[in-house]
Amino acid sequence: MKKILMILAIITFVSCKSETKQPKAKDEKATSLMAGSDTLIYPEEKYFKSIRQITFGGDNAEAYWSWDDKQMVFQSNNEAWGMNCDQMFLMNIEENFKDSKPPMISTGMGRTTCAYFLLDNKHYVYGSTHLVDKECPEVPLRKNGNYVWPVYDSFDIFVADLEGNITAQLTDEKGYDAEATVSPKGDKIVFTSDRSGDLELYTMNIDGSDVKQITDELGYDGGAFFSPDGSKLIFRASRPITPEAIKKYKDLLADGLVEPTEMELFICNADGSEMKQLTFLGNANWSPFFHPSGKKILFSSNFEAEKGFPFNLYFIDVDGKNLERVTHGETFDAFPVFSNNGKYLAFSSNRNNGGTRDTNLFIAEWQE
DSSP string over 147-198: E-EE--TT-EEEEEETTS-EEEE----SS-EEEEEE-TTSSEEEEEE-TTSS
Instruction: Please tell me the distance from the alpha carbon of residue 202 to that of residue 351, in angstroms, as a whole number.
Output: 35
pLDDT at 4: 47
230: left (phi over 0), alpha (psi -120 to 50) or beta: left
Angle (CA) 236-237-239 rounded to 5° is 160
- pLDDT tens readout for residues 19-49: 323 333 444 344 434 333 346 999 999 999 9
- The domain in which residue 129 lies consists of 5-366
How far is it between the farthest Cα atoms of the chain? 55
Cα–Cα distance list, 311 to 41, 185, 299, 305, 341 (Å): 16, 32, 10, 8, 26
Q: Which residues pair with 181 in a beta bridge?
A: 190
Give the pLDDT confidence score for residue 140 in this predicted structure. 79
Q: Please tell me the predicted confidence (pLDDT) of residue 72.
A: 98
* Predicted local distance difference test score (pLDDT) of residue 14: 34
Q: What is the pLDDT of residue 307?
A: 82
How many domains are contained in the chain? Answer: 1
Mean pLDDT for 309-335 is 96
Do 157 and 177 form a contact (C-beta atoms < 8 A)?
yes
The stretch 309-332 carries a mean pLDDT of: 96
The mean pLDDT value for 251-272 works out to: 96
Whether 7 shows a pLDDT value over 80: the answer reads: no
Q: Quick: pLDDT tens for 52-80.
A: 999 999 999 999 999 999 999 999 999 99
Using a pLDDT cut of 90, give the percent of the chain over it: 84
> HSE of 123 in the Cβ direction (CA atoms, 13 Å)?
16
Q: What is the mean pLDDT of residues 167-184?
A: 97
CATH number for the domain harbouring residue 206: 2.120.10.30
* pLDDT classification of 146: cutoffs 50, 70, 90: confident
Local confidence band at 169 (pLDDT 50, 70, 90 cut-offs):
very high
Q: What is the mean pLDDT of residues 290-314?
A: 95
Would you say 214 and 201 are in contact if contact means Cβ atoms under 8 Å apart? yes
Q: Is the dihedral of CA 181, 184, 189, 193 positive or negative?
A: negative
Quick one: pLDDT band at residue 144, thresholds 50, 70, 90? confident
234 contacts 265 by C-beta, under 8 angstroms: yes
Interval 158-177 mean pLDDT? 97
* pLDDT of res. 142: 77
Residue 310 preceded by cis peptide, ω within 30: yes
- Provide the 8-state DSSP code for 79: G
Burial of 235 (0-12, 13-18, 19+ CB in 10 A): buried
pLDDT on residue 116: 98
Element (H, E) at 240: none
List, for residues 191-245, the tens digit of each pLDDT value.
999 999 999 999 999 999 999 999 999 999 999 999 999 999 999 999 999 999 9
Positive or negative, the Cα torsion across 93, 8, 1, 332?
positive
Average pLDDT, integer, range 251-270: 96
- Residue 29, C-beta contacts closer than 8 angstroms, at least 6 positions apart: 43
- Please give the Cα distance from 277 to 128 (Å, whole number): 30
Average pLDDT of the residues in 327-343: 96
